A and B are shown apart, each in its own frame.
Chain A
Amino acid sequence: MAGKSVAELQLRDVKLGQLPKWLASCNFSPGSIFKAMQRGRNRYHAKYVNVVKPGVAPVGQFIAVFILVSYIWRYKGEKSHRLSKYHW
């Protein structure tokens, strides 16, 4: 019965035409944003961290995200170290 109205669908099930309607039905107050972040964190933890035998996933993912975000922050300064100015 979930998803009888657009507001109750999850984002992965929302079709492209329904997207504005779905966004309009969202609650963007700080409290609900915080709760949404908490839900995301809990989902991640339930899947990878709060298990009997966690694997390398939290460590590897943290390192990957660290590398990615630090490179994005450095990109502006690294652009001047390019080997060639024009690329195909």
Chain B
Amino acid sequence: MKIMVAVKRVIDYAVKIRVKPDKTGVETQNVKMSMNPFCEIALEEALRIKEGGMASEVVAVSMGPAQCVDTLRTGLAMGADRAIHVDATGPLYPLSVAKLFKALVELEKPGLLILGKQAIDDDCNQTGQMVAGLLGWPQGTFASKVVLDKEKQLATVDREVDGGLETLCMDLPAVITTDLRLNQPRYATLPNIMKAKSKVIKKYTPQELNIEIKSDLEVLQVTEPPKRKAGVIVSSVDELIDKLKNEAHVI
């Protein structure tokens, strides 16, 4: 069975984000970019499934400008067997990505498609669900545990939901999106980095996949959240009560 994993190149999550002065977006020039943390977890899970003997090949896929290849190289260095880059400039919204994935899935025919639950730059949490809808595949989202049954071609997924944990059982092929507690991604070791240099990255364009990228969304403005106001130190309990009563109006 082949596993396809989606990886997205995003601003490194430890970077302090700044909004561009013209409010059209976030500053991305000279800012460190890395693989989306949830995508790292997705790739790690795929690798573990392969190491457990349930899959034969892990294919990493990324969509975007040429620099996505760096992210794919990281994926290959972690242990993916080969990679696919869909070269697309301009903003890619989840529905376009989902349509592109549908086309790739029809080409590659994987038994499992694993994505991160959301990307940390747009926080959409939509792509996995949309692909599942387009393909007509079952979906196990917010996975915190995945167990595959090769014979019965089933996946049992524990999902993290607001009320606790929900366990689903679904037929393969299926779409899984990963949550934080699923696993701890491995580091890229030097021997693997060396091997990754000879692994194949195949390039496609949206035209080759017969997908037209158009967006129904337009970003009007991006602004920072209002700065938190400094706290005030009160000098007595009476003053505290007075402030709670007259300023905050909570008592």
| B and A form one assembly | no
B residues with CB within 8 A of A: none
Binding site for B on A (CB under 8 A): none
